[in-house]
């Protein structure tokens, strides 16, 4: 071990409050495992707009108690500098069911209490949306959720909400990161929990707080619309899994409140368990993750098989088909159905506002135009969706709905972040209405496609050769004029914020800069009236790109839905293959 590394390790051991972490670090030193030590001390987990997230372990590159205390001290210093009344308004802190989440949350509370902040800490595990709700409910200066969402068991994280109840965006991320770096070199503030409670700086959010969220949902006209059939709700079967997370008590309660009596939870996955023993990866998008809830739905004859991810901010579902089998809805399909349902039932004043991200389906914008609503698009991530919604919302243009294709949805302004609990209730209302009318979800989706065209979406990560040049730079130097025999009618470069049309016209793009390329494609000779879109997110550090494809086909009169889908899938496969073939290797 070189001298500099030895100094870092010694300094960390002197500051680390966790005996378990110190023991793990001392074992690496005793074993002479310089490679592991260099990995643990080769930098610091970067604080960004999603906070910090990493594998639990010692050193500044791991999630551990010392890192959490330093992060909390840095966050507190930044809040104090930015918001005059931050200490009085304080923070709301919650945590999920992972093994270290409770102690990390309590550590954050004790650091911030020592700095003079009023801290409200949930008394037990809480869904992430409840913390976002709590920030606005208490008019707090900020919120913290200790969660790694749907990451594997070895991960944990620290997510921050700003005073507006939305996830932080620049410049706050950089400002907080700078304060954390300073805090890491100072003596950390600390007030033992009993003393913090005694001085009135720390209080615990009990069941009455959780009830406030429940009552807010109960009184939301968007989530409890008047005049809907109670028979449909009583007859709709819903299988549900919390996926070893924290969503079950609240998700089940709000469904019962709305009159859904046939709700069947997967018992083996209902209680929080940081080991996630029945799934390889606690993400409902992963193959196999929904198997148990689909089995439960089949066993009970339920129409819907629903899931929240472990911190309950995402919502996934599979729907029973006419043959009795179940098929997953994509995030884009769920988002389109929810958007259409909410706009078709809109009775408020003004022009409602709906939005999604650049990698989500453009079908949302067609639906919005059909109802005369206003739609908007942001960069990927709910931090952008919600902060932009707040900027655009006015009394004449109230926010209604937003989603991203990665299973995140928000309905109304109850929570300024994705909320898998309220989204599930909203979709259940949609399905119940269809059931009362003698229809189903697949019929509703087909109606959307026949009205707006068949939208086919696919996401592909492409690993390229080791000698491949920087893909983003290569594509900018060699802009394609066609992809899969479809002409490029316009290309957007979000890094330089320019949109260039095939005829040479240019427009400025009103989004934050990001290394993303978007190609808008016209029809091919074989599919007149169709259009397509290819989005490329290149990596500047490895030969890999993430691509998002969308194909829009007109629905010919009389064509069967199954035939249209087969054609769409075949054309999508050709588009993906054609695009991949055009890239350097």
Q: Which residue has the tokens 């968007």?
A: 222
Q: Tell me how far apart the terminal alpha carbons of the chain are, to the nearest angstrom.
A: 40
The alpha carbon dihedral of 413, 414, 418, 420 has a sign of negative
In degrees, to the nearest 5, what angle opens at C-alpha 478 toward C-alphas 476 and 482? 110
In the chain, DSSP finds a helix count (H) and a strand count (E) of 20, 23
Question: DSSP string of 182-240?
Answer: HHTTSPPP---HHHHHHTTSEEEE-HHHHHHHHHHHHT-TTTS-TT--HHHHHH-EEEE
Tell me which residues are annotated as active site: 149
Contact between residue 375 and residue 355 where contact means Cβ atoms under 8 Å apart: yes
Count of positions (residues) in the chain: 585
Residue 384: in which H helix or E strand, if any?
helix 382-392
Instruction: Write out the H or E segment, with its range, that includes residue 411.
Output: strand 408-411
**What distance in Å separates the CA atoms of residue 305 and residue 311, rounded to the nearest whole number?**
18
DSSP labels for 11-41?
Answer: HHHHH---HHHHHHHHHHHHTT-HHHHHHHT
d(CA 425, CA 264): 14
Q: Which residues of 356-370 are buried (b: 16+ CB within 10 A; e: fewer)?
A: bbbbbbbbbbbbbee
CA-CA-CA-CA dihedral for 207, 210, 215, 217, to nearest 10: -160
**What is the per-residue DSSP string for 547-579?**
EEEEEEE---TT--HHHHHHHHHHHHHHHHHHH
């Amino acid at each position: 071990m070189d001298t500099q590394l030895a100094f870092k390790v010694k300094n960390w051991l002197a500051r680390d409050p966790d005996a378990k972490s110190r023991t793990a670090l001392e074992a690496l030193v005793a074993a002479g495992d310089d490679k592991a030590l260099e990995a643990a001390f080769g930098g610091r987990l970067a604080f960004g707009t999603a906070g910090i997230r990493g594998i639990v372990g010692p050193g500044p590159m791991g999630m551990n108690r010392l890192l959490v205390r330093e992060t909390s001290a840095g966050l507190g210093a930044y809040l104090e500098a930015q918001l005059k009344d931050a200490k009085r308004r304080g923070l709301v802190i919650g945590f999920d069911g992972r093994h270290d989440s409770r102690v990390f949350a309590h550590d954050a509370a004790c650091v911030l209490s020592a700095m003079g902040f009023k801290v409200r800490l949930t008394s037990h595990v809480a869904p992430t949306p409840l913390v976002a709700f709590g920030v606005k409910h208490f008019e707090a200066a900020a919120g913290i959720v200790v969660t790694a969402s749907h990451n594997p068991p070895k991960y944990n994280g620290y997510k921050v909400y700003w005073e507006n109840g939305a996830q932080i965006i620049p410049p706050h991320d950089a400002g907080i990161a700078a304060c954390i770096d300073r805090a890491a070199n100072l003596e950390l503030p600390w007030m033992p929990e009993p003393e913090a409670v005694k001085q009135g700086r720390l209080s615990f959010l009990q069941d009455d707080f959780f009830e406030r969220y429940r009552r807010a949902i109960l009184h939301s006209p968007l989530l409890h619309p008047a005049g809907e059939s109670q028979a449909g709700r009583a007859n709709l079967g819903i299988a549900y899994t919390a996926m070893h997370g924290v969503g079950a008590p609240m998700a089940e309660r709000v469904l019962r409140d709305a009159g859904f009596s046939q709700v069947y939870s997967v018992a083996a996955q209902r209680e929080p368990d940081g080991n996630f023993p029945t799934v390889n990866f606690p993400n409902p998008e992963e193959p196999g993750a929904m198997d148990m809830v689909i089995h439960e739905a089949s066993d009970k004859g339920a129409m819907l098989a629903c899931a929240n991810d472990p911190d309950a901010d995402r919502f996934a579902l599979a729907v029973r088909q006419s043959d009795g089998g179940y098929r997953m809805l994509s995030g884009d399909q769920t988002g389109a159905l929810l958007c259409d349902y909410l706009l078709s039932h809109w009775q408020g004043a003004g022009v409602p506002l709906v939005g999604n991200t650049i990698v989500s389906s453009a079908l949302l914008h067609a639906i919005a135009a059909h109802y005369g609503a206003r739609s908007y698009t942001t960069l990927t991530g709910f931090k952008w969706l919600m902060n932009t919604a707040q900027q655009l919302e006015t009394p004449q243009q109230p926010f209604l709905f937003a989603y991203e294709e990665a299973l995140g949805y928000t309905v109304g302004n109850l929570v300024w972040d994705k909320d898998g609990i309220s989204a599930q209730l909203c979709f259940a209302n949609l399905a119940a209405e269809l059931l009362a009318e003698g229809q189903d979800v697949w019929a509703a989706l087909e109606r959307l496609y026949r009205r707006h065209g068949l939208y086919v979406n696919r996401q592909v990560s492409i690993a390229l050769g080791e000698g491949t040049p920087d893909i983003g730079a290569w594509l900018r130097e060699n802009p394609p004029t066609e992809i899969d025999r479809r002409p490029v009618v316009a290309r957007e470069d979000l890094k330089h914020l320019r949109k260039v049309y095939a005829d040479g016209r240019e427009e400025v793009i009103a989004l934050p800069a990001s290394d993303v390329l978007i190609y808008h494609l016209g029809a091919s000779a074989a599919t007149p009236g169709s259009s397509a879109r290819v989005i490329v997110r290149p990596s500047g550090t490895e030969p890999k790109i993430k691509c998002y494809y969308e194909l829009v086909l007109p629905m010919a009169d009389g064509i069967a839905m199954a035939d249209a889908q087969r054609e769409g899938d075949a054309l999508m496969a050709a588009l993906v293959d054609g695009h991949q073939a055009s890239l350097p290797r």
